[in-house]
Structure 1
């Protein structure tokens, strides 16, 4: 089978090679990557990778439609031959790593476990900062192993998923969390399963973007989500801006809702030997190695410059003073969910 991962990046050249090497080890054999307005040489890295046959690079420097940067890229992606020819598609971000728990931990093993699936939801497992202050040029998956528990009751973002879907015409366009533009004539035959192998209801075929609370959604596959990284990296993320909600500035609210460190999960590194072989192949290319090192140097220089500006220096100080987040117990979460439900019902009436 052909599996295509779709990615949008800006100023993330320091993380790109690890991400590609890991997902090649998982079983993705094609990548389409959109870059926009890069300062760290990410676009040059992607050009070199395209010349080496690793991926297709598309510059997405604007103008952007009202949906924003990522939606503009996804809209353009739907028209590309790479996507039209792929058998399976998964839109991802560079801080998301597919982690398969069945068989030999690859995509074919996942399909063997769910042979009838049209779509498989990969629920986020949030990996916290674990007190890491400075950015290090080391694998993200080895630097951060502390994470949220397998059962979370709040916030709802902890249950969000990305969708690996069969490109059989049931859905005609990729979306950030789920495929879009369904063919209504094919929806009845579509079969959705979650990361634990449970069949999902009809609602998931057209609407849902998060899994049910309070259950383990990871028996077969999970999506390791590293949205924070080191505190230094988070300051750079705030400077970069968000791909979807580009007008929303990152602050402590985003941090607190994702900085869970109660559990340890290093299962993603089962594929580390294969990943490292791919990574060594990439870094053996002198031009690619030079560009990677330049992206790492740019991050350090940019952080130093940001720390001379009060908003970013203040953010760094708050990050250093803020304790890790604690998962809410069921009763506390139910209190919040009840009010969220009331607000939704009132808005619909």
Structure 2
């Protein structure tokens, strides 16, 4: 067998995302997920007018990520089309560990760990996936964007749910058991059961039988655990960020729907997602490393120029909102 044989090569750790107009956040998001252990980053973009597609092109040309622009057919949600495009591209290989995160989501492995640590826990349990609970992050009292997610500027968070249903994002091994991608979890092929595909949650226990129910229109994407919901890790979800960034998000719309404006992003939505009752500081340990990695990425002149253009466009957009 050669060194490229998947049976002898280390598993790739692939981060996938579909985005539109996430330019101000991409460099940090990419840098962060590189330092916690993702080896490949595959991003599909569409209809960007903030310079993010140019930034992604520069990062692709520098060998840092893989970027594909998509043209979304009428009547199909952008994220759905991106998922089909990615699967059909042949990018994913048997044995890859794959996770779909949006640009407002940051995987935080437990106790300063890495993606490899989560994978090791799964493999020790002979599991093929780990569904990791969200933890919502609030605006921590900021009216304007402080510039970074991974910083001491953000500490406000939701309670650590115990015994309550919370949504997940799933890290899973790519194989013929996977029929399709979904933003929260893989869609399993017909006939795949708990006997052939062990699925864990972030408490380290088995997912509910509903995880394997193909009859549900929306695949089951939650966990209900009484103890240690974040034992293996959590996904910090900055769903609102700050009022100014939320206003731009409202303009962009939601990629999960064929009509991007289908979801109501109003003041009530902001208030409902603005969790600040508890403190989250786990991400602070990575701030210095992320800063250093962002600086490394910006050493590429094309990336630096594209990032500067994104910043100028952001300032102009915020000026129009004022």
**TM-score bracket, shorter-length normalisation:** 0.7 to 0.9
Partner SS for 2:222? coil
CA contact (8 A) 1:21 1:278 kept: yes
Distance change >3 Å, CA 240–CA 185, structure 1 → 2: closer
Q: Is the 8 A contact 1:120 1:195 kept in 2?
A: yes
Q: Is the 8 A contact 1:78 1:84 kept in 2?
A: no
What is the match of residue 29 of structure 1?
39
- The Cα offsets for residues 20-41 of structure 1, whole Å up to 9 and x where unpaired, read as 0110111111111011111111
Structure 1 residue 77 corresponds to structure 2 residue 92: no
1:181 Cα offset (Å): 4.2
Q: 1:179-198 maps to which residues of 2 (within 5 A)?
A: 179-185=186-192, 188-198=195-205
Please tell me whether residue 228 in structure 1 is matched to residue 237 in structure 2.
no
**Root mean square deviation, CA, Å:** 2.0
Deviation at 1:160, TM superposition (A): 0.8
Give unmatched runs, 5+ long, in structure 1. 308-349
Q: Given the alignment of the two structures, is residue 169 of structure 1 paired with residue 176 of structure 2, yes or no?
A: yes
CA distance in 2, matches of 1:287, 1:249: 37
Give the secondary structure class of the aligned counterpart of 1:257.
Answer: helix
Q: Provide the residue aligned with 2:24 in structure 1.
A: 14
**Residue 15 of structure 1: how far off its partner (Å):** 0.6
Q: In the TM superposition, what is the alpha-carbon distance from 1:304 to its structure 2 partner?
A: 2.0
* Structure 1 residues 122 and 111: alpha-carbon distance in aligned structure 2, compared to 1, 3 A threshold: same
Distance 1:64 1:32, change over 3 A: farther
Would you say the 8 A contact 2:19–2:44 is kept in 1? yes
Q: Which SS does the other structure have where 1:28 is aligned?
A: coil
TM-score, normalisation: structure 1: 0.81
Tell me if 1:60 matches 2:76: no
Kindly indicate whether the alpha-carbon contact (under 8 Å) linking 1:170 and 1:187 is maintained by their aligned counterparts in 2.
no
Question: Residue 108 of structure 1: which of 116, 122, 127 is its match?
Answer: 116
Verify: 1:2 aligned to 2:9, yes or no: no
Distance 2:27 2:47 in 1: 19
CA spacing shift, 1:291–1:136, aligned 2, 3 Å = farther
Distance 1:23 1:44 in 2: 20
1:281: which partner in 2?
296
Q: CA deviation at 1:268?
A: 1.8
1:14, distance to aligned residue in structure 2 (A): 1.0
Q: Secondary structure at the match of 1:72?
A: helix
Deviations 1:143-175 (A, max 9, x none): 322101102677x6xx11111111122112111
* Among 96, 101, 105, the residue aligned to 1:87: 96
Residues 1:121 and 2:131 aligned together: yes
Q: Is the 8 A contact 1:65 1:72 kept in 2?
A: no
Deviation at 1:64, TM superposition (A): 4.2
Deviations 1:158-215 (A, max 9, x none): x111111111221121111111142415652111111121122322234421111765
Partner residue in 2 for 1:208: 220
- Specify whether residues 118 and 107 from structure 1 end up closer, same or farther in structure 2 by C-alpha distance, changes over 3 A only: same
Residues 32 and 21 from structure 1, CA distance in 2 versus in 1: closer, same or farther, beyond 3 angstroms? same
Could you tell me the TM-score, scaled by structure 2's length?
0.87
